[in-house]
């Protein structure tokens, strides 16, 4: 059976099942969410008002046996950036949507009754609206437990915690992973949009269905084998990521002078060794956690891990470099276990661990806490923010608003979104991505660190301007395309360095749908997605002046390489020349 | 010459984190890589001297800090 669009109207508490218009047929993941948001959402609308829409869409290959294809995209106008947003996640939702034959779930409107939160239960050809007063005021694990108790089978669960209910900009949407832990549609405040629509959780039950059809199973199998082999044989995806997770980056960025420290005042941190991936891996081995763990079934890379405390009790999983950096070098916490505890708490609360940790680091400049004061940071996170105290709300509004509230100049944001983990002045290609991506400062949008620092896909000197705009452009185009397939972005390392990887990915898409796409077609898709998102942003009021890094980076010299952000506006704007 | 050698990720296993070591004049980064048999563990990913990327042919200078990483990634 062909996939269908499930359209939910929260104003009427009604739903429609629609055929997929032919223009959306070849799209999935980010390509589809961004296309639908651009077509159907007024760019001038209030992100938390009745005219914003949320769109969930699994990738083109989600639900198939293709390795690493289980990413689900969520799109909307972002309350954090005021522009278009797509955020994708592992977990079980992409596979389950695909198995049910859901091409996209579009959620429109706002309920008239402001006091009722709903569970949306999606089954074959049906969406139920179940009031869940008992879950109001609860965080993600309590919601997950309630849903697991209710459905004695595998259902996808997407939920928000108290912070999403309060519609704070740091709120994310959490998704159940195969081991019953949480992954998140992290960035851009999508949890606030879900909260505005009074949706506490969405469950999807596909237990009796398997609607994913493969036009040419033989060809698919063959291509899938080549693709998996490319991932496994690549030293980064095959060895480095599983052994140390993404946190292996602490030391490499620290060495390169690109580890933003003390709110972007230095490029190295003297305590990096305390929080680095090597230390993390040692702790995991000694304490009986897991160094490898997949955020969804079918991940052969397994960059995630299970991190326990000294007593061997679970602290967190999906413990990522960017979060560890922000609570570590940026905010000054030297205790990796406390960072892990905060990471686990952020999962439960349902907040973007990057935005939340970056804003907590900025709170040091605001005088709210001292650099390195982990206890106070924990108190803000566990008390002020989830209780919605006035201070908690200001912090929960994100980095940009905290900076404005306290009259700060050194505020690390682009388009209102906190800059993560890579110092733009010392990793200039990444700086171009931060400046230009329609998502606001998002490292995954075009990961120039790969080529600037990691020698993946060649090498472009991170400290020089030459070649950076082109690098960031090519990576952003490729990423927009990959984000449409349902693939995890870490397949990019193999794609950058192994000539067999990308063709096998395209072969899988062709075999799944019986089409004949070429690499050029796929790159053109990436370009179209970027342009669509860019146009939405322009109509929403974001212009080229929004494609800029914070001004202080132009005049403050960053040690140890003593560099500034030295691109002119015209040089940055060249990005859009494609 | 005194050279500080720093090893990371898999390169640390059975070796060390950081050591000051002696090398003759004219030694290159490759000399360090070979002496420590690093590529038996994993292919070289990133080589930095004083925080800047260099090639293995780089000729070491007194007091250099050499950082060696196998192929690693993240994001
Ligand atoms: S590599 Fe990491 S992020 Fe990607 S699918 Fe696997 S566990 Fe998830």
The answer to whether residue B24 neighbours chain A at the CB level (below 8 Å) is no
Instruction: Find the A242 Cα to ligand 1 centroid distance in Å.
Output: 9
Asked whether residue B24 is assigned to any structural domain, the reply reads yes
Check pLDDT > 80 for residue A371.
yes
Place of tokens 């209030």: A46
Q: Which residue of A has its CA nearest to B74?
A: A246
Instruction: Please confirm whether the linkage preceding A568 is cis (ω < 30° from 0).
Output: no
| Interchain proximity A449–B75, CB inside 8 Å | yes
Distances in whole angstroms, Cα of residue A45 to Cα of each of A77, A333, A413, A440: 8, 39, 22, 18
Is there a contact between A240 and B52 if contact means CB atoms under 8 Å apart?
A: no
Q: At A55, phi and psi to the nearest 5?
A: -130, 125
Specify the number of domains making up chain B. Answer: 1
Contact A569, A546 (CB under 8 A): no
Q: Which two tokens stand for residue A173?
A: 């949407």
The CA-atom distances, in angstroms, between A258 and each of A250, A458, A514 are: 10, 19, 45
Q: Which long-range contacts does A44-48 make (Cβ < 8 Å, 24+ apart)? A: A44/A539, A44/A540, A44/A541, A45/A77, A47/A76, A47/A77, A47/A78, A47/A79, A47/A82, A47/A189, A47/A192, A47/A193, A47/A196, A48/A79, A48/A167, A48/A192, A48/A193, A48/A196
Q: Of how many residues is chain A composed?
A: 578
A217-233 helix and A501-513 helix, angle to the nearest 10 degrees: 160
B38 belongs to a structural domain? yes
Q: What is the mean pLDDT of residues A102-121?
A: 96
Hey, what are A315's tokens? 């602290």
Q: Test A236 with B6 for CB contact under 8 angstroms.
A: no
Measure CA of the first residue to CA of the last residue in chain A; give whole Å.
Answer: 38
Write the pLDDT tens digit of every residue in A42-86: 999 999 999 999 999 999 999 999 999 999 999 999 999 999 999
How far, in Å, CA of A248 to CA of B69, rounded?
10
Instruction: Out of 3.30.300.30, 1.10.599.10, 1.10.10.10, 3.40.630.30, select the CATH number for domain A424-497+516-578.
Output: 1.10.599.10
B52 in a domain, yes or no?
Answer: yes
In terms of CA atoms, which chain A residue is nearest residue B65? Answer: A255
Residue A424 CA to residue A551 CA, distance in Å, equals 12
* CATH no. for A247-422: 1.10.569.10
Residues of A in contact with B42 (CB under 8 A): 235, 239
Q: Which residue of A has its CA nearest to B9?
A: A278
pLDDT of residue B73: 85
Domain of residue B63 covers 2-70
User: Among A239, A252, A462, whose Cβ lies nearest the Cβ of B69?
Assistant: A252
**From the CA of A172, how far away is ligand 1's center (Å)?**
18
Residue A418 in contact with residue A445, Cβ under 8 Å? no
More confident: A115 or B7: B7
Indicate the average pLDDT of chain A.
96
> A19 by DSSP, 3-state: which?
strand
CATH number of the CATH domain containing B7: 3.10.20.30
CA distance A92 to A323: 23
User: Is B75 within a domain?
Assistant: no
* Alpha-carbon distances of A81 from A169, A193, A360, A406, A530, rounded to whole Å: 9, 13, 18, 19, 16
**Torsion angle in degrees (nearest 10) through CA of A146, A147, A151, A152:** -70
Q: Is B14 on the interface with A (CB under 8 A)?
A: no
Helices of type H across A406-500? 428-436, 449-452, 468-485, 491-497
Residue from A186, A251, A422 to probe the interface with B (highest B Cβ count within 10 Å)? A251
- pLDDT score recorded for residue B10: 94
Residue B36 lies in a domain: yes
The answer, for A445 touching chain B at a CB cutoff of 8 Å, is: no
The predicted complex's ipTM stands at 0.97
Q: Does the beta carbon of A243 lie under 8 angstroms from any beta carbon of chain B?
A: yes
> Which residues are registered as beta bridge partners of A102?
A4
State residue A497's pLDDT score: 86
Q: Where in chain A are the domains? A: 4-204, 247-422, 424-497+516-578
∠A139-A141-A146 over CA atoms, to 5°? 100
Q: Tell me the per-residue pLDDT of A412-428, one tens digit each, with 9 for 90 and over.
A: 999 999 999 999 999 99
pLDDT (mean) for A504-509 = 96
Q: Which residue has the higher pLDDT, A245 or A17?
A: A17
How much is the average pLDDT of B29-41?
97
Q: Per residue in A103-118, is it b (16+ CB within 10 Å) or e — as a string?
A: bbbbbbbbbeeeeebb
The predicted model gives A24-46 an average pLDDT of 97
Give yes or no for residue A303 having a pLDDT over 70. yes
| Cα(A339)–Cα(A346) distance, integer angstroms | 10
At the topology level of CATH, where does A4-204 sit?
Aldehyde Ferredoxin Oxidoreductase;  A, domain 1 (3.60.9)
CA distance B56 to chain A (A): 13
Confidence at residue A182, expressed as pLDDT on a 0 to 100 scale: 93
The pLDDT confidence band at residue A1, using thresholds 50, 70 and 90, is low
Distances (CA, A) of A274 to A251, A281, A334, B50: 10, 12, 6, 21
Residues with CB under 6 A from ligand 1: A 68, 90, 294-296, 299, 301-304, 488, 490
Task: From A497, A164, A90, select the one nearest A320 (Cα to Cα).
Answer: A90
Q: Average pLDDT for residues A138-159, to the nearest whole number?
A: 94
CA distance B24 to chain A (A): 25
Partner residue opposite B75 with nearest CB, options A244, A278, A443: A443
B6 touches chain A (CB under 8 A): yes
CA A250 to chain centroid, in Å, comes to: 19
Q: DSSP for A384-406?
A: IHHHT-HHHHHHHT-HHHHHHHT
Confidence of residue B74 (pLDDT cuts 50, 70, 90): confident
Q: pLDDT over 70 for what percent of chain A?
A: 100
Do A58 and A121 meet the contact criterion of CB atoms below 8 Å apart?
A: no
Cα–Cα distance, A250 to A210 (Å, whole number):
42
Q: Which residues of A408-430 are buried (b: 16+ CB within 10 A; e: fewer)?
A: beebbbbbbbbbbbbbbbbbbbb
Backbone phi, then psi, for A464, in 5-degree steps?
-110, 160
> How far is B5 from B29, CA to CA, in rounded Å?
10
Ligand 1 atom nearest A489 alpha carbon: 4
In chain B, residues with a C-beta closer than 8 Å to the C-beta of A235 are: 42-43, 45, 70-71
Q: How far is the CA of A431 from the centre of ligand 1 (A)?
A: 24
């Amino acid at each position: 059976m062909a996939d269908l669009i499930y359209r939910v109207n929260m104003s009427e508490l009604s739903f429609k099942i629609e055929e997929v218009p032919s223009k959306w047929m070849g799209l999935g993941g980010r390509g589809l969410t961004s296309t639908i948001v651009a077509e159907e959402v007024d760019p001038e609308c209030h992100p938390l008002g009745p005219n914003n829409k949320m769109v969930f869409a699994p990738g083109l290959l989600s639900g198939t046996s293709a390795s690493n294809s289980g990413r689900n995209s969520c799109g909307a106008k972002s309350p954090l950036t005021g522009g278009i947003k797509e955020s994708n996640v592992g977990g079980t939702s992409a596979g389950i949507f695909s198995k049910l034959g859901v091409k996209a779930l579009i959620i429109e409107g706002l309920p008239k009754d402001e006091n009722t939160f709903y569970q949306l239960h999606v089954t074959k050809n049906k969406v139920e609206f179940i009031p869940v007063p008992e879950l109001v005021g609860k965080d993600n694990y309590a919601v997950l437990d309630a849903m697991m108790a209710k459905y004695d089978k595998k259902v996808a669960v997407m939920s928000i915690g108290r912070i999403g209910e309060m519609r704070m900009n740091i709120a994310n949407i959490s998704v159940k992973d195969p081991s019953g832990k949480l992954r998140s549609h992290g960035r851009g405040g999508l949890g606030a949009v879900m909260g505005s629509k009074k949706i506490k959780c969405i469950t999807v039950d596909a237990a009796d269905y398997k609607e994913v059809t493969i036009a040419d199973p033989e060809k698919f199998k063959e291509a899938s084998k080549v693709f998996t082999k490319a991932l496994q044989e690549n030293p980064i995806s095959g060895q480095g990521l599983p052994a140390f997770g993404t946190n292996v980056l602490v030391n490499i960025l620290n060495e390169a002078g690109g580890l933003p420290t003390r709110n972007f005042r230095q490029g190295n941190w003297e305590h990096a060794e305390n929080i680095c991936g090597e230390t993390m891996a040692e702790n995991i081995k000694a304490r009986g956690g897991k160094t490898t763990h997949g955020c969804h079934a079918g991940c052969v890379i397994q960059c995630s891990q299970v991190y326990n405390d000294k007593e061997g009790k679970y602290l967190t999983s999906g413990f990522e470099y960017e979060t560890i950096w922000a609570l570590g070098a940026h905010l000054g916490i030297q205790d990796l276990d406390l960072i892990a505890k905060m990471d686990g708490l952020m999962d439960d609360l349902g907040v973007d661990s990057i935005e939340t940790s970056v804003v907590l680091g900025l709170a040091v400049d605001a005088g709210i806490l001292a650099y390195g004061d982990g206890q106070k940071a924990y108190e803000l996170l566990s008390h002020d923010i989830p209780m919605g105290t006035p201070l908690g709300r200001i912090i929960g509004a994100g980095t940009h608003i905290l900076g404005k509230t306290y009259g700060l100049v050194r505020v690390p944001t682009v388009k209102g979104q906190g800059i993560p983990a890579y110092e733009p002045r010392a990793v200039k290609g990444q700086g171009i991505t931060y400046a230009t991506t329609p998502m606001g400062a998002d490292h995954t949008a075009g990961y120039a660190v790969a080529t600037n620092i990691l020698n993946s896909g060649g090498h472009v000197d991170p400290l020089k301007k030459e070649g950076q705009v082109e690098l960031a452009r090519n990576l952003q185009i490729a990423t927009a395309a990959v984000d449409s397939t349902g693939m995890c972005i870490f397949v990019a390392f193999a794609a950058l360095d192994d000539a067999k990887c990308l063709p096998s990915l395209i072969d899988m898409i062709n075999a799944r749908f019986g089409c004949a796409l070429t690499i050029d077609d796929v790159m053109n898709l990436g370009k179209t997605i970027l342009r669509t998102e860019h146009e939405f942003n322009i109509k929403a009021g974001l212009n080229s002046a929004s494609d800029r890094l914070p001004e202080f980076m132009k005049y403050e010299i960053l040690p140890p390489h003593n560099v500034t952000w030295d691109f002119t506006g015209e040089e940055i704007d060249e990005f859009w020349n494609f | 010459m005194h050279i500080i050698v720093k090893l990371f990720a898999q390169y640390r296993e059975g070796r060390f984190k950081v050591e000051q070591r002696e090398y003759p004049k004219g030694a290159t980064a490759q000399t360090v890589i070979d002496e420590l048999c690093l590529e038996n563990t994993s292919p070289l990913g990133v080589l930095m001297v004083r925080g800047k990327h260099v090639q293995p042919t780089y000729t070491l200078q007194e007091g250099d800090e050499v950082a060696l990483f196998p192929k690693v990634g993240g994001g």
